[in-house]
Chain A
Amino acid sequence: MKIVKIIVIIVFVILIAPGRAAAGGPFGPPQPIAKEAGGLHTGIGYWFHEDKYKNGTEQVTRQNQVYSELGYGSRNGWEITARVGMSDLKLIDAFSSSAASTATSKKDFEEHGKFFGTAGAKGFYPFNKTFGMGAFIQGTYYFSDFNDTVSGTQNGVPFSVKLSVKNLWDVNFGMGLQVTVPYGIKMYLGPYVYYSEAKVSPSTDVAGVALASGETTMKNKTGFGGFTGIEVPLAKGFRLNLEGQYTERLSIGAAVSYVY
Chain B
Amino acid sequence: MKAFSFLVLLFVFFVAGCAHSPDPVASLAPPAAPPQAQQVMVVSDSVQIPPNPPEMPVKSETKNVDDYGDIEVLEKVSEEARGEIADPLEPFNRAMYHFNDKLYFWVLKPVAQGYGKVVPEVARVSVSNFFANLAFPIRFVNCLLQANFKGAAAELGRFTLNTLWGVGGFLDPASSEDINLSKQDEDFGQTLGAYGLGQGFFIIWPLFGPSSPRDTVGLVGDAFLTPSTYFTPWYAGAGTKVYDRVNDTSLNIGDYESLKEAAIDPYVAIRDAYVQYRLKKVNRKGGNTPAEDSGLPKNE
Contact = CB atoms under 8 A, between A and B. Distances in A.
Contacts of A236: 178-179
A257 B166 CA distance: 10
Nearest to B166: A42
Contacts of A70: 167
B165 interface: yes
Given A258-B173, A260-B171, A44 B165 contact: yes
Interface string A219-246: 0000000000000000011100000000
Main secondary structure of the interface of A (DSSP, over half): strand
Contacts of B167: 42, 68, 70
Interface in A171-206: none
B168 interface: yes
B103 interface: no
Contacts of A258: 161, 165, 173
A42 B178 contact: no
Contacts, number: 28
B299 interface: no
Nearest to A44: B164
A42 B171 contact: yes
Interface size class of A (residues with CB under 8 A): 10 to 19
B55 to A, nearest CB: 49
A237 B178 CA distance: 7
A43 interface: yes
B232 interface: no
Contacts of A257: 165
Contacts of B171: 40, 42, 260
Interface in A64-83: 68, 70
Interface string B154-171: 000000010011111001
Contacts of B64: none
Nearest to A69: B167
B165 A43 contact: yes
Contacts of B48: none
B291 to A, nearest CB: 34
Interface in A34-53: 40, 42-44
Contacts of A260: 171, 173, 176
Contacts of A256: 165
Interface of A: 40, 42-44, 68, 70, 236-238, 256-258, 260
Interface of B: 161, 164-168, 171, 173, 176, 178-179
Q: Which 6 A-B pairs have the closest CB atoms?
A: A258-B165, A236-B178, A237-B178, A42-B165, A44-B164, A258-B173
Given A43-B165, A68-B164, 9 more contacts: A42-B166, A42-B171, A42-B173, A44-B164, A236-B178, A236-B179, A237-B173, A237-B176, A260-B176
